[in-house]
Amino acid sequence: MFTRIPREIRDEVTAKAKAGEKVAELAKTYGISIKTIYGWLAKEVGDDSVSILKYNKLKRENEELKRLLGEVTLKYSWGKKGSHGSRFN
């Protein structure tokens, strides 16, 4: 059975997606398919909307990579300090 989703909900979901919320989370929260949300975004603004989503996704991935790099760098520096100390003990 196909149900129409009210315009208010569609506007709310697309606004949140454009603001950077994950489409997968919005789909889960509202009980709407990811494909439907991307379809709304594509119709609403064209390619700019999809570009905004890609930008936000890349921004989140970049933040995660920076966090991981920081952890690796910290572990590496601890390893260096530990290996120097063991030579002189």
pLDDT digits (tens, 9 = 90+) for 40-75: 888 876 656 567 777 888 889 999 999 999 999 999
Residue 89 lies in a domain: no
Residue 41 lies in a domain: yes
Domain that holds residue 29: 7-83
Is 60 exceeded by the pLDDT of residue 88?
no
Number of domains within the chain: 1
Residue 15 lies in a domain: yes
CA distances from 22 to 28, 34, 37, 80 (A): 10, 10, 11, 39
Give mean pLDDT, residues 1-12. Answer: 85
Q: What is the pLDDT of residue 62?
A: 94
Is 90 exceeded by the pLDDT of residue 89?
no
Give mean pLDDT, residues 15-35. Answer: 92
Q: What is the pLDDT of residue 18?
A: 85
Q: Considering the chain, what percentage of its residues have pLDDT values greater than 90?
A: 45
Residue 2 lies in a domain: no
The upper half-sphere exposure of residue 7, i.e. CA atoms within 13 Å in the direction of its Cβ, equals 1
4-15: burial string, b at 16+ Cβ within 10 Å, e else: eeeeeebeebbe
Residue 74 lies in a domain: yes
